[in-house]
Structure 1
Amino acid sequence: MASRIFIDGDAGTTGLEIRERLASRADIEIVAIPAEKRKDVEAKRALLATVDVAILCLPDDAAKETVALCDALGPKAPRILDASTAHRVAPGWVYGFPELCAGQAVAIAKAPRVANVGCYATGAIALLRPLVDAGLIAPDQALAINAVSGYSGGGRQMIEAYEKGAAPAFELYALGLDHKHLPEITAYARLATRPLFVPSVGNFRQGMLVSIPLHLDALPGKPRAADLDAAYRRHYAGAPHVRVMEPPSGGRIDALALNGSDDMELFVVANEARRHTVLVARLDNLGKGASGAAVQNLDLMIGA
């Protein structure tokens, strides 16, 4: 029997992408509230009681309201996959990054509530967690994370500004140095020291690069770049959506190369003579960074 799925907030970028990815699947029935009842709380409560999984593609406060409705349903409550920021470090929620560590995919498959990983956090944690677990980066290491995303990750106003030609070609943002993805990056990369995170947006719809520069001699044991690469290859062995790549021969990495894909690529780029390295994650911010990750988590939850 097909799993009944309700996408709460399917008019936004992430919700639309999820709906498109699920629309042709015979094992899934997407249900919705009639347009005239979209703001009717009782209609939503009644629908939630009939579905297997509710996928929340909402602002944080609205996501919390839907979770409260589910709480009130008791045993009739659906399982929840929340794509907002609201529950990523909340007690009782499983973090929706299957490649995080051994057993994470199984935990997602069994969880009643899963918090989908953030787009920037996907790249940052993918780069940091294996090296922290391997003792190659100390939890209290001072780290700086740089990232650039396509404008589709910035919400309706940013999308409209870029598509009207009213936005700059490139800009740094979140310069209060308190970006909303920092709590999950710090928690799930197992960092004891909060990193500096400087995101930016470019004049392209989708695509993402996350990069972390490191002095090799400042790391525990003064490893070689090859040691970092080997740690990634061990950690992600058999992971269907994460690939460890050879350094680019031309010295350049295109942010748009994985657009339309649900995969992520990791690079260790180094100058051993200088003992410098840059760790790079490349992904589609709407794929592995959002909707693709949500579908990956959903498949684990419904046993697809």
Structure 2
Amino acid sequence: MVAKIFIDGEAGTTGLQIRERLAGRRDIEVVSIDQDKRKDQSERKRLLNLADVAILCLPDDAAKESVSLIENDTTRVIDASTAYRVAEGWAYGFAEMDKAQSDVIARARFVSNPGCYPQGPIATLRPLIAAGLLPADFPISVNAISGYTGGGKSMIAEYEQAGDTASEYMPYGLTFQHKHVPEMTRYSTLKHAPLFVPAVGDYAQGMVTFVPLQLGQLAKVPTGRELHAAIADHFAAIPNSFVEVAPYDEIAKTPELDPELYNNTNRMKLHVFANDARAQALLVAVYDNLGKGASGAAVQNLNLMLGVAGDTSLAA
């Protein structure tokens, strides 16, 4: 049986990338809205109810409207907005988050695709809290940099028009109320919101997240190797994972922290760096903000929901 897929908002950055990844598949049929009917609510409603899976690549309010237009009990939904990421009844679409999460996604009717920034901190912090190496109320800071495609069409245009005058590194979200903080907090299993400072770089796509840890205040200070082992054990137990843990190595620098290293793939690579004498550590994740951070994750979730191999249409 060929599954009908409707990408609501396929003209946006995420929608275009999803469509590109699905091109040539014989197990699905991508149904599209005619250009002259893109603002026709009745036609959107028809396609949403026709689809086996609707993938919403829309702003939050528009995504909520699309969900409200679904009148049947069969259309399944993957929402790429922030509208439902911490909502009851929605599965969180980070398949490697836990050993059982891919099965949760496979069975779900409603799946919220994760934000790009939260996935790195979730991947590194959740295993440490589960292993008892970090308490859930530990004060956490997260720093990150993403390519300008993470800001959507307006930021893409802004950077491409600026050319050589574009800012090389521009922190933002300095009120510490970034829209990704709620999911970062919940799925990292933190009791308190982290201090999150994102930044945009003068390059198109790719990202790195950093979680620095001052461990000296803990009653039992974990070593770098213990932190690494807990994270490595977590992902070793997850089949068909796109997340890889780099070997533990005491080095001053490495080319593997290039934010563009995994562009156009669904890969994520995690690193642990530490100075045990100072009780300090750094957790790092490298991945593509348009791949594992957005479109790649959506296709991975779609594959799970359709019961096909998780790496179908995805470069690893």
TM-score norm. by structure 2 comes to 0.92
Instruction: Determine helix, strand or coil for the equivalent of 1:97.
Output: coil
Aligned equivalent of 2:35: 35
Aligned equivalent of 1:276: 280
Residue 104 of structure 1 aligns with an amino acid whose one-letter code is Q
Q: CA RMSD in A?
A: 1.3
**Does residue 17 in structure 1 map to residue 17 in structure 2?**
yes
Aligned equivalent of 1:141: 138
Aligned equivalent of 1:182: 181
One of 55, 72, 75 as aligned partner of 1:74:
72
Does the Cα contact within 8 Å between 1:217 and 1:223 map onto a contact in 2?
no
List runs of 5+ in structure 2 lacking aligned partners.
309-316
Instruction: Determine helix, strand or coil for the equivalent of 1:218.
Output: coil
The count of corresponding residues between Structure 1 and Structure 2 is: 301
Aligned equivalent of 1:266: 270
Aligned equivalent of 2:215: 216
Does the Cα contact within 8 Å between 1:216 and 1:225 map onto a contact in 2?
no
Does the Cα contact within 8 Å between 2:93 and 2:113 map onto a contact in 1?
yes
One of 94, 97, 100 as aligned partner of 2:97:
100
Matches within 5 A, 1:1-304: 1-70=1-70, 73-75=71-73, 77-165=74-162, 167-219=166-218, 221-237=220-236, 238-246=239-247, 247=249, 249=251, 251-252=253-254, 253-304=257-308
* Rounded Cα–Cα distance in structure 1 between residues aligned with 2:87 and 2:250: 38
Would the alpha carbon gap of residues 67 and 11 (structure 1) be closer, same or farther in structure 2, given more than 3 Å must change?
same
Aligned equivalent of 2:314: none
* Rounded Cα–Cα distance in structure 1 between residues aligned with 2:53 and 2:271: 35
Does the Cα contact within 8 Å between 1:109 and 1:302 map onto a contact in 2?
yes
* Rounded Cα–Cα distance in structure 2 between residues aligned with 1:216 and 1:139: 13
Does the Cα contact within 8 Å between 1:268 and 1:278 map onto a contact in 2?
yes
* Rounded Cα–Cα distance in structure 2 between residues aligned with 1:243 and 1:214: 21
Residue 42 of structure 1 aligns with an amino acid whose one-letter code is S
Residue 168 of structure 1 aligns with an amino acid whose one-letter code is S
Identity across the alignment (%): 52
Instruction: Determine helix, strand or coil for the equivalent of 2:42.
Output: helix
* Rounded Cα–Cα distance in structure 1 between residues aligned with 2:44 and 2:92: 25
State the 1:39 CA deviation: 1.2
* Rounded Cα–Cα distance in structure 2 between residues aligned with 1:285 and 1:219: 33
Would the alpha carbon gap of residues 276 and 239 (structure 1) be closer, same or farther in structure 2, given more than 3 Å must change?
farther
Aligned equivalent of 2:313: none
* Rounded Cα–Cα distance in structure 1 between residues aligned with 2:14 and 2:116: 11
Instruction: Determine helix, strand or coil for the equivalent of 1:273.
Output: helix
Would the alpha carbon gap of residues 248 and 61 (structure 1) be closer, same or farther in structure 2, given more than 3 Å must change?
farther
* Rounded Cα–Cα distance in structure 1 between residues aligned with 2:205 and 2:231: 25
Runs of 4+ in 1 over 6 A off after TM superposition: none
State the 1:248 CA deviation: 7.6
Range 34-43 or range 12-21, more displaced: 34-43
Range 272-281 or range 175-184, more displaced: 272-281
Deviations 1:119-161 (A, max 9, x none): 0011111111111111111111111100000000011111111
State the 1:216 CA deviation: 2.8
